[in-house]
Structure 1
Amino acid sequence: MANQDYVSRTPAKNKKKPRNGKRAAKNANVLTLKTKLASLILVILIGAFSYGLWSLKTDPSTKTPLAESVKTVPAQKAINKSTALPEPPKEKWTYVKNLASKEIEVGEYKVVEKGPYKMQCGSFRTQKQAETLKARIAFTGLEAQVKSVTGKSGLWHKVFLGPYPRKRLAEKDKHKLKRNNINYCQIWLWR
């Protein structure tokens, strides 16, 4: 198929011509008449609004300060005693007095620590994998240990941290390791 050059072609002329030239002129006059009427109404509304603002500004009743009107209100209430508020009732609650003389009983209890804790971060078949995790933990600022244990399924190299005297200290280090993308650490009692 041959390429067509659309740029060099001249645009097609509008074949529809109005039958009567008077209709087009009449429609143009109507549009201008509508816009003239809308603009006249807008000017009248703006003028009325600005006159209203000016009349509020120059009206003497709007110039009285607010403080004077507040001062006159209590004087009128003093004259009309029948609408005055009654005295507040006497307080029948004794909560405030009881609170001053109240004694609190404190129960004695003892927190029992279960023992030292350790945090295990991995268990590997090869020593090299365990040493790699130990190095990653060392980059976070913590010191890990590797212990080789023979179990039912063979030799395992466990990477752990501790001992921690309280579980809260172990949790603190666990969150530090999570922030450094070392996950899956478990906290257990030291055995």
Structure 2
Amino acid sequence: MPRDYVRRSKPKSTSKGKSNSRPARGGSRSRAPQRRVPWLAIILILMLAGALGYLISIIKGAADHRRPEPPPAVTHTQAPPKPVNPIDQKPVEKWRYIEQLENKEVVVNVPEAEESTRPYLMQCGSFRSSAQAEQLKAKIAFQGLVAQVRHKSGSSWHRVILGPYDSKRLAEQHKHKLIKAKAVSDCAIWFWEG
């Protein structure tokens, strides 16, 4: 048999003698327990409010009982001087170095840069076979530079040389250009001694 949980009332029994439902709990609804008034908390709050009021009255009373100081007696009849605003005043210079430096002349001896009359050479490789030296010369030529293969008599080495350069800066520029293009791994720059 379906139960009605919303009403919570006793189910009506179909037979007069027997009931399928549970016995009642002991009466109708029970009352909720009465709440107790927190007298201790109310007493503590009232005591704190009283103490705070007493403290404020003591502080206020101490301020009221203080005697005001009498103003100082004015003995002169002149008008008081006008207060000076420090922003309006022109600053006074304490240092004299500005005047001293205006009239001072500084002489500096700069040595003239000696221009080297000797040109620079750059060696980018040294090989035992002339074929390898010619191959490196061709790689350098693809970068737009002119190289020479020099072979000293009595030596078995073939050197790949660029230059002569008038300045070391130009030789360095060409060196970086060749290294960046990966035509060479490194080059040596030195003075050419005729």
TM-score by length of 2: 0.49
Q: Which residue is 2:121 aligned to? A: 118
Q: Which amino acid in structure 1 is aligned with residue 190 of structure 2?
A: W
| Partner-residue secondary structure (3-state), 1:176 | helix
**Contact 1:150–1:156 (Cα < 8 Å) also in 2:** no
Deviation at 1:92, TM superposition (A): 2.0
> Which one has a larger percent helix, Structure 1 or Structure 2?
1
1:102-135 deviation line (CA, Å, top 9, x unaligned): 3231314232326211000000111111111111
> Please, which of 131, 134, 137 is the counterpart of residue 137 of structure 2?
134
Higher mean Cα deviation, 178-187 or 93-102?
A: 93-102
**Rounded Cα–Cα distance in structure 2 between residues aligned with 1:108 and 1:85:** 48
Deviation at 1:85, TM superposition (A): 3.1
RMSD: 2.3
Change beyond 3 A, Cα 1:96–1:83: closer
Q: Which residue is 2:101 aligned to? A: 99
| Partner-residue secondary structure (3-state), 1:155 | coil
Q: Which residue is 1:11 aligned to? A: none
**Contact 1:117–1:190 (Cα < 8 Å) also in 2:** yes
State how many pairs are aligned: 109
Identical amino acids, percent of aligned pairs: 50
Q: Which amino acid in structure 2 is aligned with residue 100 of structure 1?
A: E
Change beyond 3 A, Cα 1:95–1:183: farther
Structure 1 segments (4+ residues) deviating >4 Å: none
Which consecutive unaligned segments of at least 5 residues does structure 1 have? Answer: 1-80
